[in-house]
Amino acid sequence: MPDVIMPRLSDTMEEGELSRWMKQVGDEIHKGDVLAEIETDKATMDLEAFDNGILEELLVVAGALVPIGAPVARIGDGSNIVAAGAAPAAPIAAPAAVVVAAAPAATPPTDAPTPATPTATQTGELRTSPLARKIGREHGIDLHAITGTGPQGRITRTDVDRAIVAQEATASAASTAPLAAAPAAVSTDSVSVPVSRIRAVTARRLTESQAVPHFFLTSVVNVERLVAFRADVNESLAALGTKVSLNDLFVRASAVVLRAHPEVNASWGDGVILRHNHVNVGVAVATDDGLLVPVVTDADQKSLGAIATETRALAGLARTGSLSLAQMSGGTFTISNLGMFGIDSFTAVLNPPEAGILAIGAASDVPAVRDGVLVTVPTVKITLTVDHRVLDGAVAAAFLRDLTALLEEPMRIVL
């Protein structure tokens, strides 16, 4: 039977950390069984078996960093079992340029470990996660002075956090010592806040986004009919216990126009433009740990009621940290709405590799003349951020023009 390999679990994944084996050599394996837990740059995922048989050999130890496609275990008929006591291969070192976020660490304790013998392999290479290395570099921590508490002495983020606490405590004591006799109180100017896994990934991806040549287009939408249309829809859906938000209407409208403008439903990929066959709209959700973007797949094929139900469920999962990797993957376009915070307009940062993201502001009344009478009209400013490698100004402008027209004639949203 073929080897069990490290799968690609996200579009940004280059390697995964096999954090824990759930099965052992000699166990009977059935298709769909969870063999191990894998930490990626986005989440902790299950590694499932695709074959039936006997787990004959574990090729890597728990805590190993494994490139995509590399074998991690072997499943067979049981005739080639490697003794459970035999040591599997040592962890595979991560490339220096690759940063893979580990799971969020608990609040570091106030006491720090005493520096001890460096945690290293026989070749002198430190066993540490990419995130631990990154945080260590940012805080000037010498990882060679840390004793790892992870599998096989691996240095974890928690170990680094403890070292940071110890370093800050030492620095604070040194800085206050000369002032011990002074009556004035001494206070710190800032507090070091450990970065969550979500925040670390967000920082990396948005830094990548800033390297993309992009431009912005803004349109003002008369949402008078859209607001009235939403009220009619919610009245008809009341019996089903479903309510449609303005954001749901923007998701559906964007999906419809993306279907008519496939050149916008695209991304840049290693020198080629990828036009996607599915319209999958990501919806930015703010959480306590950072920004998450769950994806409404095939949004152009779903009803308003279905979109409303799905976006509400996805937002709830995002805020409780329960989103699966599949629910955050495969987006082809993103919507970010800050209207509920009273923000009139803003420009959103691209969510790579997508070619476009729509920023939606708050509805506000503006004066207008109708039949010779001065009235107020509710309007919303929408701003499209565009990857200039994929789209030129005229093409993006045509998309925004048609989206504006659809929002102002909302009956066409459901067609």
Environment class of 228 (CB within 10 Å of its CB; exposed 0-12, middle 13-18, buried 19+) = exposed
- The question of whether 276 is a catalytic residue gets the answer no
Contact criterion met (CB below 8 Å) for 297 and 279:
no
Number of domains the chain contains: 3
Q: Flag whether 367 is in a domain.
A: yes
- The question of whether 139 is a catalytic residue gets the answer no
State the Cα–Cα distance between residues 115 and 120, nearest whole angstrom: 14
> Amino acid letter at 184?
A
The tens digit of pLDDT for each residue in 205-261 reads: 778 788 889 999 999 999 999 999 999 999 988 888 889 999 999 999 999 999 999
Q: Flag whether 191 is in a domain.
A: no
CATH of the domain at 306: 3.30.559.10
Are 158 and 240 members of one domain?
A: no
248 versus 414: the higher-pLDDT residue is 248
Are 267 and 373 members of one domain?
A: yes
Mean of the pLDDT values across residues 124-137? 67
Are 163 and 298 members of one domain?
A: no
State the Cα–Cα distance between residues 36 and 47, nearest whole angstrom: 5
The listed range with the strongest mean pLDDT (49-53, 87-91, 142-146) is 49-53
- Out of 27, 46, 388, 402, the active site residue is 388
The tens digit of pLDDT for each residue in 17-35 reads: 888 899 999 999 998 889 9
Q: How many C-beta neighbours within 10 Å does residue 183 have?
A: 5
Q: Of 71-75, 111-115, 244-248, 365-369, which gets the smallest average pLDDT? A: 111-115
Of 276, 290, 304, give the one whose Cα is nearest residue 412: 304
pLDDT band at 169 (very low <50, low <70, confident <90, very high): low
The tens digit of pLDDT for each residue in 186-220 reads: 456 788 887 776 777 778 777 878 888 999 999 99
State the Cα–Cα distance between residues 186 and 292, nearest whole angstrom: 39
Q: Flag whether 151 is in a domain.
A: yes
Q: What is the pLDDT of residue 184?
A: 47
* Domain carrying residue 172: 99-177
Are 161 and 288 members of one domain?
A: no
Considering the entire predicted model, what is its pTM? 0.60
The tens digit of pLDDT for each residue in 106-127 reads: 333 334 543 333 444 444 456 7
Q: Flag whether 323 is in a domain.
A: yes
Q: What is the pLDDT of residue 179?
A: 42
Residue 131 has pLDDT above 80, yes or no: no
- The answer to whether the peptide bond before residue 71 is cis (omega within 30 degrees of 0) is no
The tens digit of pLDDT for each residue in 310-324 reads: 999 999 998 888 888
Percent of the chain clearing pLDDT 90 (strictly above): 46
Of 262, 355, 256, give the one whose Cα is nearest residue 296: 256
Q: Flag whether 224 is in a domain.
A: yes
Please give the structure tokens belonging to residue 152: 């096989």
State the Cα–Cα distance between residues 58 and 415, nearest whole angstrom: 54
Contacts (Cβ under 8 Å, ≥6 apart) of 352: 205, 208, 209, 212, 267
